Amino acid sequence: LRGRQETRNVPIIMLTARGEDSDRIRGLDTGADDYLTKPFSMTELLARLRAVLRRIRPSLAEDVVAVGDIEMDRAAHRVRRAGKEIHLGPTEYKLLEHLIQHPGRVFSREQLLDAVWGSDVYVEARTVDVHVGRLRKALNIDGVNDPIRTVRSAGYALEDSVEAAS
């Protein structure tokens, strides 16, 4: 579950009959947020569920992300640049969503393939270039620099500050 982009932030509580310290440690080290052994009461399970949900709730509040003059409202599935609504296809939206979460960080084609398409789908690496081109075209505003930086032999990054073109 932790390896897939879609389920990376899903809280995991292990419910098991294995109660040895080594089992608990292995469960928590492999990604579980909590570990509960049988027998357990339903009230304890509910209390642990509430605790896990309290920890993840702040990340749910981050529905609107802004980098430079680009604003992404993930709850409404909308993107704006300089106040103007931008219409993106589903792949370009996922690509921007990944880049906007890590402004300034350079991602290789392979990293973007895994993040946007998933590791279980075969897609040519150059497909990333095509979709970055489409994203650039959609985000293009006259007189404003391209927010996506190409780093030769490394990949792409979303600039965390966008300035007027000279």
pLDDT of residue 165: 42
Q: How far apart are CA 21 and CA 52, in angstroms?
A: 21
The CATH fold assigned to 64-158 is Arc Repressor Mutant, subunit A (1.10.10)
**pLDDT by 10s per residue, the chain, length 166:** 566 666 677 888 999 999 899 999 998 888 888 899 999 888 888 888 888 887 776 555 467 888 888 999 988 899 999 889 999 999 999 999 999 989 999 999 999 999 999 877 888 888 999 999 999 999 998 877 889 999 999 999 998 765 544 3
Q: What pLDDT shows up at residue 62?
A: 63
Fold classified for 5-60: Rossmann fold (3.40.50)
Q: Could you tell me where in the chain the CATH 3.40.50.2300 domains are found?
A: 5-60
112, 102 Cβ separation under 8 angstroms: no
Three-class secondary structure of residue 14 per DSSP = strand
pLDDT at 122: 85
Residue-level pLDDT at 1: 57
Residue type at 146 in one-letter notation: D
Ranges for all domains in the chain classified under CATH 1.10.10.10: 64-158
| Contact present, 40 and 15 (Cβ < 8 Å) | yes
